[in-house]
Structure 1
Amino acid sequence: MKTAFQTHINENLAFLNGKKLLIAISGGIDSVVLTHLFNSLNFSISLAHCNFQLRGKDSIKDEVYVIELGEKLKIPTYTIKFETENYATENGISTQMAARELRYNWFQKIIKENQLDYIITAHHKDDIIETVLINLVRGTGLDGLTGIPEINENIVRPLLSFSRNEILVYATRNKLHWREDQSNSSIKYVRNKIRHKVVPFLKELNPNLLDTLNNTLENLKGSQQIVKDRISNIREKITTLENDEIHFNIEELKKLSNPKVYLYELLKGYNFTEWNDVADLLDAQSGKQIFSETHRLLKDREVLIVSEILAAKKSVLYEIPENTSKINVPIKLKFKSIDIPFDTKNHQNKVFGEIIFDNPQIISIDYNKIQFPLTIRKWQKGDYFFPIGLNGKKKLSKFFKDEKMSLLEKESAWLLCSNNEIIWVIGKRLDERFKVTKNTSKLLKIKC
């Protein structure tokens, strides 16, 4: 197996040569074999072991074993203890999902802090069939039927070409010692049920199940690439990017042979799950929206708009002290105060006739009419201001409607205020009360 492993690295994962690798090691046979293979080939490796504190004394013994193995092989070893069950409860996720999040976040932290290159995990060929069957049972698209990726950004799984039996034979012949996880024999978890009950039955039906599945996955990956190419072409034709929003042309979507299927492929990266509701948006009234954990999909007239859910709260205030020249948060603005000479002959300041009021991106306001610190905030129900040129007040909700702003544009709007009075709907309209007049002696120029 060592020769086959080295050949596989050189032919398919040559980028690992000369790199610093972090091996995720549980102490079980798979990760121990992986460690010995890389160590025997003189790779620069470190070990990372997570104690999830889920199996009492066995968890402690696993950790001790990994530490001793690292010392024996003279390999840098990192260990950590996690309060896994507490984390799962606090985040409303399963224990298995909690363990996954905790370990991969920690692995990435080690990589960054120690200038390592890749995370190496011990997933093998048998894991692929288990994963495919789990995805099939739970419901999945083409991605879920193509198995486990060998390379996923900086995570590499070089044992995917080798079976559990090959790993066992290597460990036995080389007289390796490893820790047995008794929970692997329990059918409490879905994966174990599939491993111990379903897979053996399938292997009875087809003794060459792993090779057959591998060929099938290769065919599916080819089909997957065709789908990706088609979706890439469609995306170019029907989508536009406006600020941080992605707009999908509804009319063009409806021309496709199966809009629901295309919507799945176009939107699956945004964590939506209710695909019937997504498809229904095509014929819903404007303003209808659905949410995933991370994104929102909004029907706005002739487009579907995808945007990230912002964590910022409307109650947050950003203060701008006097003499500030520029800010970058929450929005980029530049400030410049200007003293204005007075024209005694015409009884007005010398720049009044030069002030332009119809540029919403650059405003000039009367310095003496404002109070510092100025503040920037989100709009709230009941807000109103006096739009310049209107000669009266208007609720912001009505102003937004008249400006034909989408729901997302409304929510992304910022207000510049003085003593909680709106000076400027930033980038949209100045307030009449703060404009420069012929009697202004000092102005504040603000630019988006």
Structure 2
Amino acid sequence: MLKQFISHLSDKHNIQAPAKVLLAVSGGLDSMVMLELFHQSGFSVGIAHVNFELRGEESDGDEALVKNVCQQKNIPFFTTHFFTKDYANEKGISVQMAARELRYKWFESLAEEHNYEWIATAHHLNDSIETAVFNWTNAASLAGLCGIAAQHGKIIRPLLFARRKELEDFAKENSVIWREDSSNDSDVYKRNFIRHQIIPKLKELNPSLESSFMRGQRKLQGELSFLNHALQQWKNQFVSIQNDVVNIDKKGFNEIDAAAIILYKVAEPFGFNFDVCEEVLQALHEQSGKRFLSNSYQMIVDRSKLLISKQVDELDAVLIERDQTDAFLGNWHLKIRVGTKQVPINDLNVAMLDFARLQFPLKWRQWQAGDTFYPLGMKGSKKVSDLLIDNKVSLVDKTKVTVLTSGEEIIWVVGHRLDERFKLSENTKETLILTLNPYFT
């Protein structure tokens, strides 16, 4: 098995001794065998052990075992304790998800601090089969049906070639000591139920389940690679990024049966699930302006495109007093000064207003549906929404537009148009001069 392990690391991950590898070791069979394999192979390893404070004395015993083995082999040992249940409650997630988040975040910071090139976890072939079954029951995509990925960035899973029985045999032959996790005996957890109840039934149907899974996995990974190549070609033709906004040409969905999965593959990194992508496509040819939200991003159906951008936070209105010289709203800064009568300049980011006509404090806020004003150069009123349409402001940029008001009247659609009623006239004595600039903290 040692030769197979070394060949697998070299062929699958292009890693050879004496590379520096941080090993995630819990004290169970899988990780203790991994520790022994790396140690015998001549790698420069460090051991990272997490005590999740979930099993009392059992957890302490796991930590003591791993620490003792590291001392015997003169291997660097790192450990930390997490109050996992408290973290799960605080984040509103499961204990299993909390443990995963905590350990991987710590592994990555530890590897960076001590210059480890790789982080290795001890997932093996049977784990991958269980994961594939679990993913299938949760409507996974093709990638999920492949089981556990062999590598994700600097995180590697070097035991995916090995069956659990092979790890047990290696442990016995090499006097590897490990501890059993009592929580693995309970079918309360879905993965344990799959391991104890589902996998044995599948092996009754196919005694060569592991071999069949590996063959099927290779086919799926090949198909996935082909589909990813086709998707990239589609993205090259129909997707572009401008000013941090993802633009998806609607024409890319014409006469495509798999439109929902294509959109999902583009939108998934921004937190959109498959069901939302199906809803978006149903709204594709309806009136533009419909907005769909993930946790942090918005997807907007525009005239000829789908637009994905960060959600714009709702901003509290800012009051501007008579003697104020600066104001800030979101990522914008207004420079404010009062001068004598000025000659208006042709710059949308500079507003010159008749000071005597203004009622302080002024209010700077996001525009709202129904806002109206009297555009400079026009006699009648106009909705701000209509001005933005006339100016061909994109739906994403519309969410960033602000207005400045005096009393209840809009005096400036900031960066777009002044109000006719507050312009400079021959009777103007003092001018309020406002200059808009981007502001980044």
1:363 corresponds to 2:350: yes
Match of 1:356, as an amino acid? I
* TM-score, normalised by the number of residues in structure 2: 0.82
1:32 corresponds to 2:32: yes
Post-superposition shift, 1:48? 1.8
- How far apart in 1 are the matches of 2:206 and 2:108? 40
- How far apart in 2 are the matches of 1:315 and 1:420? 17
Residue aligned with 2:110, SS: helix
- How far apart in 2 are the matches of 1:423 and 1:59? 66
- Name the residue aligned to 1:207: 207
Aligned length: 432
- Name the residue aligned to 1:313: 314
Tell me, yes or no, if the aligned pair for 1:39 and 1:45 is still in contact at 8 Å: yes
1:15-26 map, 5 Å: 15=15, 17-26=17-26
1:230-245 map, 5 Å: 230-245=230-245
Match of 2:315, as an amino acid? K
Match of 1:112, as an amino acid? E
Which of 417, 420, 427 is 1:429 aligned to? 417
- How far apart in 2 are the matches of 1:422 and 1:25? 64
Question: Residues 371 and 211 of structure 1: is their aligned pair in 2 closer, same or farther, counting only changes over 3 Å?
Answer: farther
- How far apart in 2 are the matches of 1:444 and 1:306? 32
Post-superposition shift, 1:130? 0.7
Residue aligned with 1:282, SS: coil
Tell me, yes or no, if the aligned pair for 2:338 and 2:433 is still in contact at 8 Å: yes
Residue aligned with 1:104, SS: helix
- How far apart in 2 are the matches of 1:443 and 1:303? 38
Residue aligned with 2:202, SS: helix
- Name the residue aligned to 2:120: 120
- Name the residue aligned to 1:11: 11
Residue aligned with 1:140, SS: coil
Tell me, yes or no, if the aligned pair for 1:423 and 1:430 is still in contact at 8 Å: yes
- Name the residue aligned to 1:297: 299
Match of 1:255, as an amino acid? E
- How far apart in 2 are the matches of 1:384 and 1:302? 27
Post-superposition shift, 1:33? 1.3
Residue aligned with 2:284, SS: helix
- How far apart in 2 are the matches of 1:58 and 1:209? 33
- Name the residue aligned to 1:73: 73
Residue aligned with 1:293, SS: coil
Question: Residues 212 and 61 of structure 1: is their aligned pair in 2 closer, same or farther, counting only changes over 3 Å?
Answer: same
* TM-score, normalised by the number of residues in structure 1: 0.81
- How far apart in 2 are the matches of 1:160 and 1:318? 61
- Name the residue aligned to 1:288: 290
Post-superposition shift, 1:422? 7.1
1:6-155 map, 5 Å: 6-15=6-15, 17-155=17-155
Post-superposition shift, 1:123? 0.8
- How far apart in 2 are the matches of 1:80 and 1:298? 44
Post-superposition shift, 1:322? 7.9
- How far apart in 2 are the matches of 1:218 and 1:38? 26
1:408 corresponds to 2:396: yes
Tell me, yes or no, if the aligned pair for 1:21 and 1:120 is still in contact at 8 Å: yes
Tell me, yes or no, if the aligned pair for 1:34 and 1:122 is still in contact at 8 Å: yes
Identical counterparts, % of pairs: 35
Cα deviation per residue 1:242-298 (whole Å; 9 max; x = unaligned)?
Answer: 322222222431322342343333333333141542331224432333333343322
Residue aligned with 1:49, SS: strand
Post-superposition shift, 1:2? 1.7
- How far apart in 1 are the matches of 2:51 and 2:317? 39
Post-superposition shift, 1:151? 1.2
| Structure 1 residues without counterparts, runs of 5 or longer | 341-347
- How far apart in 2 are the matches of 1:385 and 1:407? 20
- Name the residue aligned to 1:343: none
Question: Residues 258 and 443 of structure 1: is their aligned pair in 2 closer, same or farther, counting only changes over 3 Å?
Answer: closer
Question: Residues 441 and 132 of structure 1: is their aligned pair in 2 closer, same or farther, counting only changes over 3 Å?
Answer: closer
Tell me, yes or no, if the aligned pair for 1:29 and 1:178 is still in contact at 8 Å: yes
Residue aligned with 1:304, SS: strand
Match of 1:411, as an amino acid? T
Larger mean CA deviation between 193-202 and 286-295 belongs to: 286-295
Match of 2:3, as an amino acid? T
Tell me, yes or no, if the aligned pair for 2:366 and 2:403 is still in contact at 8 Å: yes
Residue aligned with 2:140, SS: coil
- How far apart in 2 are the matches of 1:107 and 1:420? 56
Tell me, yes or no, if the aligned pair for 1:367 and 1:444 is still in contact at 8 Å: no
- How far apart in 1 are the matches of 2:51 and 2:408? 52
